Amino acid sequence: MFSRAIKPVASVAAQNGLKNFSTSSQKNFKVVVAGAAGGIGQPLALLLKQNKLVTRLALYDIAPVTPGVGVDLSHMDTPAKVTGHQGPDQLADAIKGADVVVIPAGVPRKPGMTRDDLFNTNASIVRDLAACVAKNSPKAIIAIITNPVNSMVPIASEVMKKAGVYDPNRILGVTTLDVVRAAAFIGEINGVDPQTVSIPVIGGHSGVTIIPLLSQSKPAVKLSDQGKIDALTKRIQEAGTEVVKAKAGGGSATLSMAYAGARLTGSVLRGLKGESNVVECAYIKSDLTEATYFANPVVLGKNGVEKNLGFGSLNDYEKQLLKAAIPELQKNIKTGEDFAKK
Ligand SMILES: NC(=O)C1=CN([C@@H]2O[C@H](COP(=O)(O)OP(=O)(O)OC[C@H]3O[C@@H](n4cnc5c(N)ncnc54)[C@H](O)[C@@H]3O)[C@@H](O)[C@H]2O)C=CC1
Ligand SMILES: O=C([O-])CC(=O)C(=O)O
């Protein structure tokens, strides 16, 4: 009798359209993909639609096809309810109630361009999306894929600061593709399943700021001399350019990025749910080096980044890589902060 008369807090909240703030583990999450009609956005949404922790999937983009992408995905027989939102007038609705906002909105590279060449176009896109999150879902975890990641995370952070809702543990730059690539290449070299390879990639997400810690690979990388270690390091640093060249003007990595983005988002959700020991590399606010944002392994928990695991000890070669990365990171961070403070 009582069980019918006294409704659990969670279901009352759900009936009123409110979030479930009970202390038990939340297992139903709203994820927003901003830039959902793009080369990354569409396959990322496809993968997220298959994640059982996602019960609401909001797809936002300025492209006219966006509502159609939503309708298309909504026919999949998985639980997530999909909604499509096109244009700035529909952005707030997409963002409201979000637990995680993943941002692949913005232009990709063409051959001959650096990621920094994307700054002028992408900076205002990320700024405006972050401002909408600050207003409509200030507690959402923001995962930024848009390049240059090294500068976009500082921009989003400054926007949240201005709005008075900044929490450094809730803003992540997505560097998962660097980890995925490193594991893929090492798996091939060692002749093992890449999914059994654990390899931290630290620093940032462009050229020399990408620092794969090959000395910490598990299993150890089967490379006999330093020249080969150097070549593998450079391949990982330049893997994005390898794809840009191979696509010959047709854009940059989309499918592998969608895979990596879905993995990172899934890990964020597992952390939010209360699972312990969820570890991913991510580019976050940091005081580990002279660069005020830095990527390395972190534990993801109920409030985003729960613990910064640092990067352990580096060998002499890796120390040199770090030394080369820091000034570049500092420059990228300043560019982002200066833009946001204007
Ligand atoms: N973090 C990483 O490891 C990686 C990052 N990227 C970056 O991801 C970004 C997206 O790449 P792609 O999906 O290949 O590009 P794309 O051009 O295929 O898709 C971008 C989408 O963003 C949308 N868009 C543009 N302005 C928008 C706005 N104001 N609000 C919402 N959506 C907007 C476009 O309409 C388009 O659908 C690029 O900046 C690229 O450099 C790409 C690969 C890896
Ligand atoms: O290289 C690019 O422009 C896209 C990217 O960030 C990557 O593939 O790592």
Does the beta carbon of 106 lie inside 6 Å of ligand 1?
A: yes
301 is in an annotated binding site: no
Q: Is residue 150 domain-shared with residue 212, that is, in the same domain?
A: no
Residue that terminates a domain, selected from 173, 196, 226: 173
Is 4 a member of any domain? no
Residue 129 CA: nearest ligand 1 atom is 30
The confidence score (pLDDT) of residue 18 equals 37
- Locate 151 and state its tokens: 């500068």
Which is nearest to 205 in space by CA: 272, 267, 157, 152?
152
Verify that 181 and 147 share a domain, yes or no: no
Q: Which residue has the higher pLDDT, 27 or 11?
A: 27
Res. 14: pLDDT tops 70: no
Q: Quick one: which atom of ligand 1 is closest to the CA of 173?
A: 1
The C-alpha torsion from 125 through 86 and 38 to 195, rounded to 10°, is: 90
Q: Is 197 found in the same domain as 117? A: no
Q: Average pLDDT of 56-68? A: 98
Instruction: Decide if 273 is inside a domain.
Output: yes
252 lines ligand 2 (CB under 6 A): yes
Instruction: Please tell me whether residues 299 and 184 are part of one structural domain.
Output: yes
Residues 302, 185 within the same domain: yes
Final residue before a domain boundary, out of 173, 193, 228:
173
Nearest Cα to Cα of residue 150 among 48, 36, 276, 291: 291
Same domain, yes or no: 57 and 147: yes
Whether residue 109 is annotated as binding a ligand: the answer is yes
Any atom of ligand 1 within 6 Å of the Cβ of 267: no
- The answer to whether residue 110 is domain-embedded is yes
CATH number at residue 183: 3.90.110.10
- Residues above pLDDT 90, as percent of the chain: 92
Can you list the positions of beta strands (E) in 46-90? 54-61, 81-86
Active site residues: 205
CA angle 134, 92, 299 (to 5 degrees): 45
The answer on 191 and 168 residing in a single domain is: no
> Tell me, what CATH number does 43's domain have?
3.40.50.720
Give the SS3 label for residue 285: strand
Closest ligand 1 atom to residue 63 Cα is 35
* 116: in domain: yes
| 212 and 305 assigned to the same domain | yes
* Distance, first Cα to last Cα, the chain: 62
The range of the structural domain enclosing residue 249 comes to 176-341
Confidence grade of residue 24 (pLDDT, cut at 50, 70, 90): low
> Is 308 a domain residue?
yes
Instruction: Decide if 224 is inside a domain.
Output: yes
For the chain, the average pLDDT equals: 93
Instruction: Show which of 150, 173, 196 is a domain's final residue.
Output: 173
Q: What is the pLDDT of residues 259-315, one digit of tens each?
A: 999 999 999 999 999 999 999 999 999 999 999 999 999 999 999 999 999 999 999
Binding site membership of 149 for ligand 2 (Cβ less than 6 Å):
no
How much is the average pLDDT of 121-127? Answer: 98
Q: Do both 20 and 169 map to the same domain?
A: yes
CA distance 36 to 102: 9
- Do 279 and 309 fall within a single domain? yes
Give the count of domains, the chain: 2
Indicate whether 247 pLDDT > 80: yes
Residues 6+ apart with CB under 8 A from 257: 40, 44, 104, 145, 177
Position 3 in a domain: no
One domain for residues 168 and 249 = no
Provide the whole-model pTM: 0.94
Do the domain assignments include residue 56?
yes
**Residue 265: closest CA among 17, 21, 57, 38:** 57
Please say if the pLDDT value at position 320 is more than 80. yes
Tell me: do 194 and 68 sit in the same domain: no
Nearest residue (CA) to ligand 2, atom 9: 240
